Amino acid sequence: MTEVKELKTQDVPQQVLTRVEELYKQLGDAEHAYYTLDDPIMTDAEYDSLFQELSKIEAQYPALLKPESPTQRVGAKPVEGLTSVEHLKPMLSLGNLFSFEDLEHFHESLQKNLDRDTGIELVTEPKIDGLAVSLIYENGVLVRAATRGDGQQGEDITHNVKTIKSVPLKLKLKEGDAVPALLEVRGEVYMSRKGFFALNQKLEDAGQKVFANPRNAAAGSLRQLDPKVTATRPLAWFCYALGACDDTTQAWINENLPEHLAQLHWLASIGMPVSDLVKLATGAEEVQQAYESMNQQRATLDYDIDGMVMKVNAIRDQNYMGFLARTPRWASAYKFPAQEVETQLLDVEFQVGRTGVLTPVARLAPVNVGGVVVSNATLHNLDEIARLDAKINDWVIVQRAGDVIPKISQVNVSRRESVTDIPIPEACPVCDGPLQKEEVALRCIGGLTCTAQLRESIRHFASRKAMDIDGFGEKLADQLVARQLVSTLADIYDLTNDQVMSLEGYGQKSTDNLLAAIEKSKDTTLGRFIFALGIKGVGETMGQTLASHFGQLEPLIAASSEDLQKIDGVGEVLADSIYLFFHDEPMIEQIQRMKDAGVQWPHEEVEIVDAIFEGKTFVVTGTLSHFSRDEAKKRLEAAGAKVSGSVSKKTDFLLAGEAAGSKLKKAQDLGVQVLTEQEILQMLNLE
């Protein structure tokens, strides 16, 4: 209660102090109920109103502001870098078992060590595929969170962990409970599958790099410097063990919680999320049953687990058995089989994409891979077919890794019988037009006369980063092409009320909405319009580069291949592609028709505020934490820089954010100077 006395000296009225305590409790309970118990006790509006009330009081009496206040989950400032911290007790890892035989050996070794011939009681828990984190509570308040690191030393990620709503900022001790001076809780921070897909969608929409799987996404989110970024990431946490504590607390635990399961229940009672898959099993057979049932539940969970962990329940026995070098003798992980299965390759179909490239798609005998029925897998391109040496009727191994589309990893040649070669098309499977072989790809050269390319081009044209026609999805594009209402991009702007009304699923209201969205899309930017045209090799960034370089469309249309090659990021191949695109009479006619229909954009001008980067060419890569890539680009351009999409000899600087990949490597190989986000912020005086 010392804090209360201190605050009294600040002349905060007693009833305000009492109210603040109440608000902490109500908000803390609401977060716990919502995020940990999945059983809300108040509406969002009620929560918001209490939160506002607390924020207001804190604004009025700044002396009241405490780090454990529910308003302080997102701290004010980004940290400069992650600092290293020493763990109070080493954070160890676990040995792995892979079969029932391994499990029997493990159980026998427990029996031998403990000199017992009956079954040993083990707690079985999911092995959550996230990152081990240690939380330290001093006097019931979260003061530090750290990654596992090398087990001895980790990194301080307190600023980020505080943003995770299922991490209590204060222990939920009951009245009369002793407050532990020091209590360490260990567990796993992870990202739900649903949260992961949503995050990747958001990153993709923003033109940023997506994460390969939920684990990487959780790791990337935890290592951010700015907690505001982490706060937007759907992270959660499970606790699985007690760590270090002060002597008094240790004595209390020894006396009252002599078993691991009891400790988990106690941790749950003080507000920690504990998995409800935790069970007790005695002897190898029961553990095996728990393992099989957990493996079955695996596919229904909204988070990834890669195995089961088992731990001797009696803490006395744990202490007696002790540790090997880096793993306990009393616990082990029992891994689930990889998400791979064998099935038969029935057929291969070639799909035609927007630019005419044919992608082989494997049709498979339907098979359950980690709980999801898979009947298609991508084969990428002709080289991949050759690499796998796959043939129709072959038994193939199908893999589902994290999020991605299933793929064929191998052919089981030992089961090969009466197979036939995959027929490689000689004409476009959609329009029957001629094909051209380009490196590893086959391409239909039919352009928009090929309905597959037309449909994909329309979808691309209307998509969010292009002309942004709201409500213009796949089904609509399909119908417009099938009914021959749209056979060039410009036809979109000639669609009439009656035509749209005649489409399946369209009434007057949806027709009005679609026509209004088409109308609205006419006010666009030159960069978007160039991108929307679907020129081979011109992505969003290049669309903008061309717009900024030429300012208007006419000089771009008139540019020669040589002119185009002077632009950073434009090589000979791309220059030729752009040149040829604009030297196609029907295309020029279409552009004119769109302009006549009212498609327009403001004259493109790059405002130069403080031209410290005048004439310098930048490439931006990786995940930035201070601003979005678009903002970074705008800031750099405002300082006179040109921002290009790919690294070349002409690049002066690479701004490399987190998880920068191939562009960073290329820059290093070419000796291009690499700058961090922090350095750029300093140079632009944005700190």
Binding site for ligand IVH (CB under 6 A): 92-94, 125, 127-128, 132, 148, 188, 240-241, 309, 328, 331, 333
| CB-based contact 364:345 (threshold 8 Å) | yes
> Which residue's CB comes closest to ligand IVH?
132
Shortest Cβ distance from residue 127 to ligand IVH (Å)? 4
Nearest to 579 by CA among 560, 551, 553: 560
Q: How far is CA 143 from CA 134, 235, 617, in A?
A: 11, 19, 44
Nearest to 337 by CA among 305, 367, 311: 305
Cβ closer to ligand IVH: 123 or 396? 123
Shortest Cβ distance from residue 156 to ligand IVH (Å)? 18
Cβ closer to ligand IVH: 28 or 195? 195
Cβ closer to ligand IVH: 332 or 541? 332
Nearest to 170 by CA among 41, 62, 270: 270
Q: How far apart are CA 684 and CA 308, in angstroms?
A: 50
Q: How far apart are CA 186 and CA 328, in angstroms?
A: 15
Please name the residues in contact with 59: beta carbons below 8 A apart, sequence gap of 6 or more: none
Shortest Cβ distance from residue 263 to ligand IVH (Å)? 12
Amino acid at 299: A
Amino acid at 222: L
Cβ closer to ligand IVH: 150 or 389? 150
Q: How far apart are CA 334 and CA 307, in angstroms?
A: 5
Shortest Cβ distance from residue 278 to ligand IVH (Å)? 8
Q: How far apart are CA 138 and CA 180, in angstroms?
A: 7
Q: How many CA atoms lie within 13 Å of 118's alpha carbon, on the beta-carbon side?
A: 4
In the chain, what's the furthest Cα-to-Cα distance?
A: 90
**380: how many CB neighbours lie within 10 A of its CB?**
17
| CB-based contact 155:94 (threshold 8 Å) | no
Q: How many CA atoms lie within 13 Å of 641's alpha carbon, on the beta-carbon side?
A: 25
Shortest Cβ distance from residue 495 to ligand IVH (Å)? 55
Shortest Cβ distance from residue 671 to ligand IVH (Å)? 39
Cβ closer to ligand IVH: 103 or 620? 103
Shortest Cβ distance from residue 114 to ligand IVH (Å)? 18
DSSP state of 169: S
Shortest Cβ distance from residue 595 to ligand IVH (Å)? 59
Cβ closer to ligand IVH: 71 or 134? 134
HEC string for 321-352: HCECCCCECCEEEEECCCCEEEEEEEEEEEEE
Cβ closer to ligand IVH: 119 or 328? 328
Cβ closer to ligand IVH: 167 or 559? 167
Cβ closer to ligand IVH: 148 or 528? 148
Phi, psi of 416 (to 5 degrees): -70, 130
Amino acid at 36: T
Strands of 379-516, DSSP E: 395-399, 407-411, 435-438, 441-444
Edge-to-edge strand order for the sheet containing 617-621?
642-644, 617-621, 653-656, 673-675
Shortest Cβ distance from residue 295 to ligand IVH (Å)? 15
Shortest Cβ distance from residue 279 to ligand IVH (Å)? 12
Cβ closer to ligand IVH: 132 or 546? 132
Q: How far is CA 387 from CA 381, 383, 393, in A?
A: 10, 6, 17
Nearest to 240 by CA among 163, 305, 176, 175: 305
Does the annotation mark 475 as catalytic? no
Shortest Cβ distance from residue 593 to ligand IVH (Å)? 60
**102: how many CB neighbours lie within 10 A of its CB?**
15
Shortest Cβ distance from residue 327 to ligand IVH (Å)? 7
Cβ closer to ligand IVH: 275 or 621? 275
Q: One of 127, 209, 279, 616 is an active-site residue; which one? A: 127
One-character DSSP codes across 581-630: HHT-HHHHHHHHHHHHTT-B-PPP----SS-TTTT-EEEEESB-SSS-HH
| CB-based contact 378:353 (threshold 8 Å) | no
Look-up of token digits 């370089």:
549
Q: How far apart are CA 591 and CA 568, in angstroms?
A: 26
Our measurement of the distance from residue 445's CA atom to the centroid of its chain's CA atoms, rounded to an integer in Å, reads: 36
Q: How far apart are CA 623 and CA 194, in angstroms?
A: 21
Cβ closer to ligand IVH: 152 or 412? 152
Strand, coil or helix: 131: strand
| CB-based contact 581:530 (threshold 8 Å) | no
Q: How far apart are CA 320 and CA 333, in angstroms?
A: 20
Shortest Cβ distance from residue 307 to ligand IVH (Å)? 8
Reading the block at residue 361, the tokens are: 């798609």
Q: How far apart are CA 33 and CA 675, in angstroms?
A: 44
Cβ closer to ligand IVH: 331 or 578? 331
| CB-based contact 371:325 (threshold 8 Å) | no
| CB-based contact 237:187 (threshold 8 Å) | yes
Positions annotated as catalytic residues are: 127
